[in-house]
Amino acid sequence: MTTNSPQTLYTCPGEEHPISQAVHLSRLAAFYPKCRDCRHRYDTGQLPQQTIDRLQSTERRIRRRSLFTTEGVRGIYLNELTRSKVGHVAAGLASLLWDETPLLGRLTAGSADQRKSKRSGPLVIVGYDERPSSPDIAAGVGSALRRMGCHVVDIGLTTKPCFCFTVDHFLAAAGAYITGAGYEPAWTGLDVVGRGARPYSHCAGLDRLETRLREGFSRPTRYAGSRRAFAATVPYEAGVWKHFHALRPLQVCCGCPTPMVFRLLTQIFERLPCELHWIPVPRRVRNVVDDADADACRIAEAVRRTGSHLGMLIDDDSARCGFFDERGRMVPGRDVTRAISEIVLAEHPNGKVVIESTAIAALQSSIKFFGGQCVDGGTTAAELWTSMHDGEAVFGGGDSGRFWFREAYPACDAVLAMAKVLQALSRSDATFSATVRSDHSSR
């Protein structure tokens, strides 16, 4: 009696149900994106040699990169990142957080009650941006965190600054923000922050998370965590309002692909003597500090057309931003940093100002002239946050278009940057170009 060998089971990466060999071969022949990561991608069966050669050529051309970037996790939705894959990353984060969670109470070794002891699971904030893929990914992240025993506060659709505010507001152990910021609309990803909204960056938390995923982990408790919703925009916006005061009538051109930022700024400007000209910009990869960027050119032209006092381009993370003077010329980030530093140091004499490493040589004398202390803040978001927090600095900035403010925690928020620039312009009738000129001694 002849016995057939067991059939190979083919399962595409990220999928749960097996497929037949015929489907496997048809997907290979169609260059299905998931085949790049499949362990059966070399099982080509009776495919034509021409197709096999093309597959091998593609294999040599495409070198699989890590989904971990300098500041987070990014990948193409469904092709590279699915709900289950990002959920696995969230579960790895929960595993790290449990390592930092102490046992409640003290139990003697060998105590019978020790087997029954529980630790209160870490509290994690979950939010997501306005990309169509984000709600699906957020559902996977929330489920994975609860399965790992974490208590989840779901704030839903929100901006990154509002998300960071909520992490600090709840004194949460961490926060997971679903976003594809910095990449094309088809991308998604995950930004992670720790206590006090401290960013996870390369060599500052992200490397530990990647190592944990590679080495594997187990479920720390049999008990599922809880979930509750929270309307974070109300307390966040209440904290933003206080920065917009004592302003002279100014006209501002502003562009941002995030409708929530538009709604917030519209509400703010309704109560100000200022006028907001909103310039619609698409959701795409951009460089807000490059005057050759298409959206930067759009803002510059709008400033000249409307006769505005300044222009502003906000990236889709609602944190990074670029400024334009009354002539439509882009103002370098270090000059904006200089202008804001003067305002902040007038309120906090002898305060510390954290400067990105690329701009510290150019700004050191200005900070000293304004009565402040200049501190090298490094380059990554985690380094800037740590320098701000540990040094109790009052402000941080540089060339990147990210400006950090000493709120209850070090906050990186484009709306706060706008408020400070408007305050700088309201101190006199000087133009923006005159306000930010580098020769501070001539003022």
Q: Give 288-349 as a DSSP string.
A: TT-TTSHHHHHHHHHHHHHT-SEEEEE-TTSS-EEEE-TTSPEEPHHHHHHHHHHHHHHHST
pLDDT score at 11: 77
Whole-number pLDDT of residue 119? 61
- What per-residue confidence (pLDDT) applies to 5? 38
Among 65-69, 124-128, 162-166, the minimum mean pLDDT is found in: 65-69
Q: Which three-class secondary structure state does DSSP give residue 174? A: strand
* Domain spanning 332-412, CATH class: alpha beta
Q: How far apart are CA 281 and CA 19, in angstroms?
A: 43
CA distances to 353, 354, 388 from 410, rounded to whole Å, are: 12, 11, 6
pLDDT in tens, 152-180: 999 999 999 999 999 999 999 999 999 99
CB burial readout 406-424, b (16+ within 10 A) else e: bbebbbbbbbbbbbbbbbb
Give the pLDDT confidence of 385-433 residue by residue, as tens digits: 999 999 999 999 999 999 999 999 999 999 999 999 999 999 999 999 9
The domain segmentation of the chain, as residue ranges, is 21-61, 73-100+121-232, 332-412
Q: How confident is the model at residue 45 (pLDDT cuts 50, 70, 90)?
A: confident
CA angle 404, 410, 415 (to 5 degrees): 50
Q: What class does CATH assign to 73-100+121-232?
A: alpha beta
pLDDT for res 6: 44
On the question of a common fold for 73-100+121-232 and 332-412, the answer reads yes
Q: 91 pLDDT exceeds 90?
A: yes
Give yes or no for a contact between 144 and 220, defined as CB atoms under 8 angstroms apart. no
- Specify the pTM: 0.82
% of the chain surpassing 70 pLDDT: 88
How confident is the prediction for the chain on average, in pLDDT? Answer: 89
